[in-house]
Amino acid sequence: MTDTPTIAGRPETEREKEVRAWFEKQALSAPDTLEAAARTILSLVTALIGALFGVLTVAAEKLPAYMDYPAVRGLGVVSAGALLAALIGALGVLLPARAQVSSHRIDEQARAFERLLARKSRWLKVTVVAFGVGVGALSVVLIVALLKT
């Protein structure tokens, strides 16, 4: 006859159960939250690219006076490049990735979930940084355009 080890402890309190349930809910909703953030940035980037091209007046026959400044042109290029990078980063968050796991192995499923979360999180960080750079450069271009018109 084998002795089964017994671990003494106290049962979870209601508060501890609530906290554990909250953390479990947060972990499972994290990919949805990351994807929602990426979709929001996608829509913001497309609107800002339209605004950028409006300010830079790419199609105008005679460019506005502020476009003679090399810094404005450079910042326009930086803004366009960064906003396009943010667009690509947001698509990286939304891009589905295949994950093969055994339906009987909880540890494999947990690792696959962690990898998925890490990948989406990395892409979202790239997106947010590129978006910040693009918006910052666009802000300077807009300020110069307002001051010089």
Question: Is the residue at 66 inside a domain?
Answer: yes
Q: Is the pLDDT of residue 26 over 70?
A: no
Question: Is the residue at 25 inside a domain?
Answer: no
Q: Is the pLDDT of residue 128 over 80?
A: yes
The encoded tokens of residue 56 equal 């830079």
Residues 6+ apart with CB under 8 A from 4: none
Range of the domain at 65: 33-97+104-148
Question: Is the residue at 3 inside a domain?
Answer: no
Question: Is the residue at 14 inside a domain?
Answer: no
Q: What is the domain count for the chain?
A: 1
Question: Is the residue at 19 inside a domain?
Answer: no
What is the arithmetic mean of pLDDT over 123-146? Answer: 90
What is the arithmetic mean of pLDDT over 18-29? Answer: 71
Q: Give the closest residue to 82 by CA, choosing from 45, 121, 50.
A: 45
Question: Is the residue at 21 inside a domain?
Answer: no
Q: Let me know: does 137 contact 49? Beta carbons within 8 Å.
A: no
The encoded tokens of residue 11 equal 């049962």
Q: Let me know: does 49 contact 130? Beta carbons within 8 Å.
A: no
Place of tokens 């460019």: 63
Query: Quick one: DSSP state of residue 61?
Result: S
User: Lowest-confidence range among 3-7, 31-35, 113-117?
Assistant: 3-7
Question: Is the residue at 8 inside a domain?
Answer: no
Q: Is the pLDDT of residue 15 over 60?
A: yes
Question: Is the residue at 53 inside a domain?
Answer: yes
